[in-house]
Amino acid sequence: METSSSQGNDIDPRVSLALERTLLAWVRTGLAMMGFGFVVARFGLFLRSLAAAEGLQNAKQGGLSLWFGTALILMGVTVHLLAGRQHMKSVDRLQRGEILRPTRLSAGVVLSALLALLGLLMAAYLIFLR
């Protein structure tokens, strides 16, 4: 007599729901990054409008904010793609009855490092903005 747990078809609903919550957390993170990227990209336009209102003709303020904002938007898109891929892989592994083992270098660690680097670049840009 073969049990259903040896077939790998019965997945604990708590594990399945935890995978869904993790996916949704990554989706929220990606959306927040994309929204913040849009705000940062438009920050340069705001600075140029302020300079024009003050009568400064040669104001080159806000030139890099478009690039920083675009980088954040693209990172958000990448987060969405990687989260979907990771979710599908995890569900496949659970359906095969394999144990999910966390990796030392996860997507969250890589994303944190990239966001820290981008934050440092943005801080340096704002410090040297004149």
CA distance 130 to 118: 20
CA distance 73 to 39: 10
The residues, ordered by sequence, that sit 6+ positions from 88 with a Cβ below 8 Å of its Cβ are none
Q: What is the pLDDT along the chain (130 residues), one digit of tens a residue?
A: 444 444 445 777 888 899 999 999 999 999 999 999 999 888 877 777 777 777 766 555 557 888 888 999 999 999 999 999 999 998 899 888 888 887 777 888 888 888 899 889 888 877 876 5
pLDDT computed for residue 28 by the predictor:
94
pLDDT computed for residue 125 by the predictor:
79
The residues, ordered by sequence, that sit 6+ positions from 107 with a Cβ below 8 Å of its Cβ are 26, 79, 82, 83, 86
State how far Cα 4 lies from the chain centre: 38
Q: Is 6 exposed, middle or buried (0-12, 13-18, 19+ CB in 10 A)?
A: exposed
Sign of the C-alpha dihedral, residues 116, 121, 122, 124? positive
pLDDT computed for residue 5 by the predictor:
45
pLDDT computed for residue 59 by the predictor:
54
